[in-house]
A and B are shown apart, each in its own frame.
Chain A
Amino acid sequence: MVPTAYYILLSAALFAIGVLGVLVRRNALVVFMSVELMLNAANLAFVAFARERLSVDGQVLVFFVITVAAAEVAVGLALLVAIFRSKRTADVDEVSVLKG
């Protein structure tokens, strides 16, 4: 059996890639994909810990996270389509009427 620590290291690496993706990439679609990567890194960690502790809880939690991720992408894509219709771009830098 592969030690749990390996899985956790892998999931931490995936999570870091996801965070970097959100911070660095400018296309909104790629940003969404990076967020998915972060959530799935969490899922991998849940499953790995559940296996180590021989409990079902962690595996059940994954379903909740997947559901939430799906709902989030649905709303996100709808907003993206609305923006694309009026601005013809999916680049988050070009959508900047409001200035922080």
Chain B
Amino acid sequence: MEPIQIPPVDLTLIAPLLTITAWAIVLLLVDAFLIPDERKKLTGYLALAGLAVTALVAVPLWNVDGSTFSDMVVLDRYSLTLTWLFLLIGGLTIAMALEYLPRHGIEQGEFYPLILFAVASMILLAQATDLIVIFLGIELLSLTLYILTGFAYPRVTSEEAGMKYLIMGAFAAGFFAYGIALIYGATGSTNLAAINAYLAAEPFVLSEQVLLLAGVGLLLITFGFKIALVPFHMWTPDVYEGAPTPVAAFMSVGTKAAALAVLLRILGSAFPLAYEFWLPVLSVLAAVTMLVGNLGALTQTNVKRMLAYSSISHAGYVLLGVIVATERGVEAFLFYMLAYALTNLGAFAVVIALEQRSESAWSLDDFSGLFQRQPFLAIAMAIFMFSLAGVPPTAGFIAKFYVFTAAYEGGLGWLALIGLLTSAIAVYFYLRVVLRMFTRDPGRPVEPAMDRGLHLNITLAAGLTLLIGLLPMPVVNLVERSLVALGL
């Protein structure tokens, strides 16, 4: 055996990751020892500052390209754009949580550093180019999310959701570890580029590579769990309903974005030669996910569960952009994730504004006549619902258009067609919410709890959703420059 070589390390390439991790660790200590119990909101503001500083640290790296830690971590524009997206998601989540936590009597300072850790692991996932780093990133993200899901102790639903999520997540982790082991056995490496080089070195018959196929299959199962693709989606509605609402909002966009981003990198840079295997599998999964997600949302009367099913179906749409594995597909994926993150976080913020401490105002009836009582909330919610349904002139419309075009150009026309048809189904249950808000009379009075954080959050999300829908070009320019090196 060769002696172990210590590889040269370039820390500037992981500067954003280092910044946010260090900030989170220090903030955890500051929160424990310096910030008094009644002023925990200060921790939240400090966490927001940490996100802002990290975003600034990432700016000068735009023209830097490179990999370090013996090619286990890479810095490219794809990972940078994702980094900013994750920081935005983290910031909006914290802004939602600032008032939510004290209102529900579960304000603990460690909530905010935990969100920072989750964002850090997502950044790690965006930069990872080695299966073992990806494993660590996914596990770090999952571990923080298990804690955050069960954060509303002693509310039993929250603990139960945390438990369910943990069993599902640990189960998926087992598949992932075994999948990596098999791929390592087949190719002798866990590095994405090295795996591709090994496969490209000699012509091979795909069906004879049993170890490799089994390994990739196990990996796909893991990602099915993490992204909540049908038939691995059963945990999603329960966990979203039980988790504290800001955490559910964070999971519905953050986890999906990170897992899809890393799935795209794995498929594109390690297994482009095995696409005959994964393309049909993932195509079928995407089609089933779009169908079941939208049909499941049709029958829900609980808005939080409806948003959970809607997030399942949106994962199916984004998956189209990932599996065509063309440049247009990558652009569509990034654009869709940004539009979806803004819209969905906004919709969850409206749900939070209507949520009371003792009872949950998640029933559709609580939205009846909202326009008469709270025109601001009703109009914002209408914008988010239109955007989720993909109605112009919102960001959601451009995003869907982008993804379907990419799928069609990439030869997946039938999937684009299924996407269009299921979008038509989706219009029904999104518009049902809008109709109730504007036409019905109020059922029982629900006093919304608005505060500065939520107000800012909803205004920002609604404004950007409309702005990107009307003027998509700046974002399109950004994603066009954020391509990942695909091996195809």
Contacts and interface: CB of A to CB of B under 8 A. Distances in A.
In the complex, which range does the number of interface residues on chain A fall in? 35 or more
A61 to B, nearest CB: 5
Contact of B1 (A31, A55, A96): A55
Given A71-B143, A75-B143, A100-B234, A42 B177 contact: yes
A35 B173 contact: yes
A38 B176 CA distance: 10
Interface centre among A31, A53, A72 (most CB of B within 10 A): A72
Given A45-B178, A97-B157, A98-B160, A61 B132 contact: yes
A45 B211 CA distance: 12
Interface in B292-310: none
Interface string B236-260: 0110011000000000000000000
Interface in B177-192: 177-178, 180-182, 184-185, 188-190
A61 B76 CA distance: 26
A90 B237 CA distance: 22
Contact of A53 (B136, B171, B188): B188
Say whether chain A's binding surface is mostly helix, strand, loop, or mixed.
Answer: helix
A83 to B, nearest CB: 5
B166 A75 contact: yes
A97 B160 contact: yes
A8 B185 contact: yes
A38 B178 contact: yes
A40 to B, nearest CB: 9
A48 B430 CA distance: 53
B139 interface: yes
A26 to B, nearest CB: 11
Given A42-B178, A72-B173, A56 B4 contact: yes
A6 interface: no
Nearest to B138: A68
Interface string B109-137: 00000000000000000000000100110
Contact of A68 (B135, B150, B159, B188): B135
A46 B181 contact: yes
Interface string A37-65: 01101110110110011111110010011
Contacts, number: 133
Nearest to A72: B170
Nearest to A31: B167
B139 A71 contact: yes
B162 A79 contact: yes
A72 B176 CA distance: 14
Contact of B177 (A31, A65, A80, A86): A65
Contacts of B242: 97-98
Contact of B174 (A18, A55, A96): A18
A10 interface: no
B154 interface: yes
Interface of A: 8, 11, 15, 18-19, 22, 28, 31-32, 35, 38-39, 41-43, 45-46, 48-49, 52-58, 61, 64-65, 68, 71-72, 75-76, 79-80, 82-83, 85-87, 92, 95-100
20 contacts: A15-B174, A22-B167, A31-B167, A38-B171, A42-B174, A45-B178, A45-B182, A54-B1, A56-B1, A58-B184, A61-B190, A68-B173, A75-B143, A76-B166, A79-B146, A79-B162, A79-B163, A80-B163, A86-B154, A98-B161
